[in-house]
Structure 1
């Protein structure tokens, strides 16, 4: 059976630089009837495990290490035996949330992952954080963008470990070069497409998010 994309929305708190904000996070579950991966284990390990419906969890893939995207990852890993994958450039952020539990495996630019016969390519897209990645699945006509690209613009860069010119470079060079019809499944809010966002780069630069 071909891989499918399921969405679970969980709610919790994003905390960084001394501030806290209530947030809703998109947890993407990709797989078939027997196995799956979770992209960003946010807030509620029990809800994510329930959404798996008994499928084997092959990996917990972190698009980046802000606490709202990783806070449930160790508990989900403990419950399922799945490894946690993170780009090493985000380890300083990871350790702010989980100082006593490191990720299990490193993600690398151009790395290929596979679930349910479906390949994913890891795209290193720094800017929102140093180790931010997106996951491109050509067979699903989809890219999972974390907080690098949203419907209507780039992810926030006003806090520590972030850099606006870098996120613009990442979006221009790594995401807007994908086919226009590719769906962009984001870390928060509604999905979009490469085509819908590709004409607005100049506006974003002018706004200077």
Structure 2
């Protein structure tokens, strides 16, 4: 019996919103065993993601939110693998900016559980960086995949359209900092952290945002 593991693939491309474009590197997280997996955030390079799957059955393409750098490769990866694309419906307006002619295949809702290789990942709706932003908590793996909601050093950006600083603070406080402190935070960009490392800084983030 193989055990569930987390693989990290870093892909490069651009992020565009509100008339600006920036070069970015994204974390693509692959969760599964030797036979099946899910992909969290199909960023930039469908061929590289498919290669990293190494023949495993892809059960779902999960979008933590619909900024273009997190979803630009999702339709191509879905076409190559047959896997459904899952997105929280509150992010459909953002999704349509990138993929106006291709809708997601299913909805992510708060409290919904996805299971891959016998491991449960619970959807946590964490709006703020985007209206439909979600995190995925996998207690058996001692990890939470936070997309762009929580990073090493603080919350995701809230200075652009569809984002709201007080909302992201509420999401982090109520739905992430309540997780066990040893929980590893696997982010949409950059290096991991832990809930315990970030929790003491909540007041600083609030002060910084005022």
| Counterpart Cα distance in 2 of 1:13 and 1:120 | 28
Residue ranges of structure 2 left out of the alignment (5+ in a row): none
Q: Which residue of 1 aligns with 2:124?
A: 123
Which string of whole-angstrom CA distances, capped at 9 and with x for unpartnered residues, describes residues 57-110 of structure 1? 000000000000000000000000000000000000000000000000000000
Correspondence 1:125-144 to 2 at 5 A: 125-144=126-145
Tell me which residue corresponds to 2:200.
199
Corresponding position: 1:188 with 2:189: yes
Aligned length: 209
Which consecutive residues of structure 1, in runs of 5 or more, have no partner in the other structure?
A: none
Give the corresponding residue for 2:102.
Answer: 101
**Mapped partners of 2:28, 2:80: distance in 1:** 17
2-structure distance, mates of 1:149, 1:168: 10
Report the counterpart of residue 4 of structure 1 in structure 2.
5
Q: Corresponding residue for 1:31?
A: 32
Q: Indicate the residue corresponding to 1:179 in structure 2.
A: 180
- Partners of 2:93 and 2:148 lie apart in 1 by 17
Query: Using the alignment, how far apart are the partners of 1:64 and 1:132 within structure 2?
Result: 5
Show the counterpart of 2:42. 41
In the alignment, what sits opposite 2:148? 147
Structure 1 distance, partners of 2:108, 2:142, is 21
Shift of 1:148: 0.1
Inter-partner Cα distance in structure 1 for 2:97 and 2:140 = 36
Q: Secondary structure at the match of 2:14?
A: strand
> 1:206 and 1:43 mapped to 2: Cα distance?
35
Q: Secondary structure at the match of 2:172?
A: helix
What SS does the aligned partner of 1:181 have?
coil
Query: In the alignment, which residue of structure 1 is the partner of 2:113?
Result: 112
Under a length normalisation based on structure 2, what TM-score does the superposition of the two structures give?
A: 0.99
Rounded Cα–Cα distance in structure 2 between residues aligned with 1:99 and 1:105:
16
Shift of 1:2: 1.6
Q: Counterpart of 2:72?
A: 71
Misfit runs of 4+, over 4 Å: none
Secondary structure of the residue aligned to 1:199 is: helix
How far does residue 159 in structure 1 lie from its aligned partner after superposition? 0.1
Aligned to 1:161: 162
What pairs up with 1:52-67 in 2 under 5 angstroms? 52-67=53-68
